[in-house]
């Protein structure tokens, strides 16, 4: 995800990184070529004039705009829910850390408290790697040690296994004489983390139905390819300029919807999971009074992942 300071209206006209323009340039070049062909042939195909007019495109464009709005809303709902789930993880992690520091026996060794905090941090990184389908080995070894990290490699659902380990640890350190209320308090936050885990897995494993993507893709490109033949009589040599601009609007909206619909990916408009994972780690360590790692720095200007 690209995180940047607020820019004024003029600089926004020339933004390159983070826009989808760089990914749709081939499509725009193709639309420019089709528009130029329409101008060169005066709107004819194989010598026959295509009977299109601007009124037809106005009605069809309105229907297409409504469909694009539905597709973008569906994509943004997934993005927004994913961001809320990670926000809830931050809240539950802070709360659980505070409860562990306050409610576990005072006699519990500092090393055991440190281990529980590191395991909670490991859950965040395990989930991040599971969502991105990347190898969590380095982060797990750093937090849990080689033996525990190796044991987790055999697990298909590592975040769930880490949460289970946290629950075992809390039960073991709280002791058999711990009040039921204490167990309930710990379980309430662990359940919140499990809800966030399940919600993220649901989003990652349930894409927007493929038929919607196919229908929108075909409709957008069909509209853009027919548009110059309907405008050429009215706009003549300005047809390529107008059609490329209109095509940019429609094709870019489709591209943005596709990026936002996958909030856990590495696209410029996906969630900054590296930054959010580090923020959770820093928050937990800060409560424990331990040294904080550096915040995630941009890979390149304003680029965070």
Separation between Cα atoms, residue 227 and residue 189, nearest integer Å: 55
Token digits of residue 288: 């424990």
Separation between Cα atoms, residue 254 and residue 256, nearest integer Å: 6
Q: Categorize the per-residue pLDDT at 28 as very low, low, confident or very high, splitting at 50, 70 and 90.
A: very high
Q: Categorize the per-residue pLDDT at 304 as very low, low, confident or very high, splitting at 50, 70 and 90.
A: low
Separation between Cα atoms, residue 61 and residue 65, nearest integer Å: 6
Is the CA virtual torsion 276, 281, 287, 289 positive or negative?
A: negative
Please tell me the least confidently modeled range out of 171-175, 221-225, 275-279: 171-175
Query: pLDDT for 143-188, tens place per residue?
Result: 999 999 999 988 999 999 999 999 999 888 776 555 677 888 899 9
Separation between Cα atoms, residue 151 and residue 146, nearest integer Å: 9
Q: What's residue 176's pLDDT?
A: 57
Q: What are phi and psi of 240, to 5 degrees?
A: -60, -40
Please tell me the least confidently modeled range out of 1-10, 80-89, 219-228, 239-248: 1-10
Contact 304/275 with Cβ under 8 angstroms?
Answer: yes
Select the more confidently predicted residue: 301 or 108: 108
Please give the sequence-ordered ranges of beta strands (E in DSSP) within 24-110, or none if there are none. 44-45, 48-49
Element (H, E) at 56: helix 54-103
Q: What's residue 293's pLDDT?
A: 92
pLDDT, the chain, mean: 88
Looking at residues 214-238, what average pLDDT do you find?
89
Q: What's residue 178's pLDDT?
A: 56
191's CB contacts (< 8 A; 6+ apart) are none
Q: What's residue 198's pLDDT?
A: 96
Q: With CA atoms as reference, report the closest residue to 35 among 290, 230, 267.
A: 230
User: Roughly how many angstroms between the first and final C-alpha of the chain, as a whole number?
Assistant: 5
Q: What's residue 22's pLDDT?
A: 86
Contact 244/32 with Cβ under 8 angstroms?
Answer: yes
Long-range contacts of 146-152 (CB under 8 A, 24+ apart): 152/126
Rg (CA), the chain: 26
């Amino acid at each position: 995800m690209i995180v940047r300071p607020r820019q004024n209206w003029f600089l926004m006209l020339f933004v390159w990184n983070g826009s989808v323009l760089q990914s749709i340039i081939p499509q725009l070049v193709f639309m420019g070529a089709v528009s130029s062909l329409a101008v060169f042939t005066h709107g004819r195909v194989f010598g026959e004039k295509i009977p299109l007019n601007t009124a037809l495109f106005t009605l069809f464009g309105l229907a297409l705009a409504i469909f694009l709005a539905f597709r973008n809303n569906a994509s943004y709902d997934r993005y927004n829910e994913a961001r809320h789930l990670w926000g809830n993880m931050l809240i539950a992690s802070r709360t659980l850390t505070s409860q562990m520091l306050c409610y576990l026996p005072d006699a519990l060794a500092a090393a055991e408290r440190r281990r529980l905090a590191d395991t909670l941090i490991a859950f965040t990184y395990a989930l991040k790697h599971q969502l991105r389908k990347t190898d969590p080995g380095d982060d797990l070894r750093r937090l849990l040690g080689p033996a525990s990290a190796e044991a987790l490699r055999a697990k298909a659902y590592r975040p769930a296994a880490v949460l289970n380990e946290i629950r075992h640890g809390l039960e073991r350190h709280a002791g058999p004489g711990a009040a039921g209320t204490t167990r309930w308090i710990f379980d309430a936050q662990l359940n919140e983390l499990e809800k966030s885990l399940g919600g993220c897995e649901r989003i990652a494993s349930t894409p927007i139905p493929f038929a919607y993507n196919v229908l929108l893709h075909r409709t957008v490109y069909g509209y853009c390819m027919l548009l110059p033949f309907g405008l050429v009589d009215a706009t003549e040599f300005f047809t390529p300029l107008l059609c490329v601009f209109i095509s940019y609007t429609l094709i870019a909206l489709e591209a943005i919807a596709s990026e936002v619909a996958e909030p856990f990916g590495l696209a410029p408009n996906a969630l900054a999971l590296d930054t959010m994972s580090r923020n959770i780690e820093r928050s937990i360590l800060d409560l424990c009074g331990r040294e904080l790692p550096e915040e995630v720095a941009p890979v390149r200007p304003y680029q965070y992942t």
